[in-house]
């Protein structure tokens, strides 16, 4: 029997523990279970062993632009570069550009033709947006716009674009902003 501390927080991890348990049976985990040693002790022991033996380690996952784009496409929207966003703005007269930053941030500079719907207000104003129009969302760095893109997709918008890097990347690429 696998002994785990009881907590509702452990429930999402139970499947992962079961996978580790099954994979580890061949390596003697069942002896630990029979002895009644909590599974968490095995994890701590493995971490200590890994520190003492650095050749055995877990390599960190790195996030690349391609993996961000793949993840966003799975969520139903497309993350695009500032150069692709600029091209989309130039080629799509029906495009709705939405700045999800605060009104104060918007007043300091925004994309020409963009409307300001702060992320906190988007759930209240989403019903007033035309679902048939393509929508480009952006914020300062790309975090809030990704949340906005998810909200739009969840509200059945089908042509949603998130500008990667936000206004910071736009400005760094040399594209213009307006204050009026």
Query: What share of the chain has pLDDT > 90, as a percent?
Result: 57
Residue 158: pLDDT over 80 = yes
Q: Is 139 a catalytic residue?
A: yes
How far CA 108 is from CA of 78, 148, 167, in Å, comes to: 27, 21, 11
Residue 132: pLDDT over 50 = yes
Mean of pLDDT over the chain = 77
pLDDT digits (tens, 9 = 90+) for 16-59: 445 445 545 545 555 555 555 565 665 666 566 556 655 544 44
Judging by beta carbons within 10 Å of its beta carbon (0-12, 13-18, 19+), is residue 165 exposed, middle or buried? buried
* Annotated catalytic residue within 85, 97, 139, 148: 139
Ramachandran quadrant class, 58 (left: phi over 0; alpha: psi -120 to 50; beta: rest): beta
- Mean pLDDT across 79-92: 97
> Do 161 and 153 form a contact (C-beta atoms < 8 A)?
no
3-state secondary structure of 134: coil
> Do 32 and 42 form a contact (C-beta atoms < 8 A)?
yes
Query: What share of the chain has pLDDT > 70, as a percent?
Result: 58
Residue 122: pLDDT over 90 = yes
């Amino acid at each position: 029997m696998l002994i785990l501390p009881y907590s509702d927080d452990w429930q999402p991890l139970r499947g992962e523990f079961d996978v580790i348990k099954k994979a580890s049976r061949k390596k003697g985990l069942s002896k630990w279970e029979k002895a009644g040693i909590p599974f968490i002790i095995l994890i701590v022991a493995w971490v200590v062993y890994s520190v003492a033996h650095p050749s055995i380690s877990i390599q960190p996952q790195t996030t690349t632009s391609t993996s961000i784009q793949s993840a966003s496409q799975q969520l139903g929207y497309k993350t695009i570069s500032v150069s692709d966003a600029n091209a989309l703005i130039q080629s799509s007269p029906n495009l709705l550009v939405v700045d999800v930053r605060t009104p104060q941030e918007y007043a300091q500079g925004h994309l020409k033709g963009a409307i300001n719907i702060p992320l906190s207000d988007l759930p209240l104003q989403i019903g007033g947006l035309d679902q048939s129009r393509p929508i480009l969302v952006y914020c300062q760095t790309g975090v809030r716009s990704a949340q906005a893109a998810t909200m739009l997709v969840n509200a059945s918008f089908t042509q949603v674009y998130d500008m990667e890097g936000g206004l910071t990347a736009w400005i760094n690429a040399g594209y213009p902003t307006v204050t009026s």
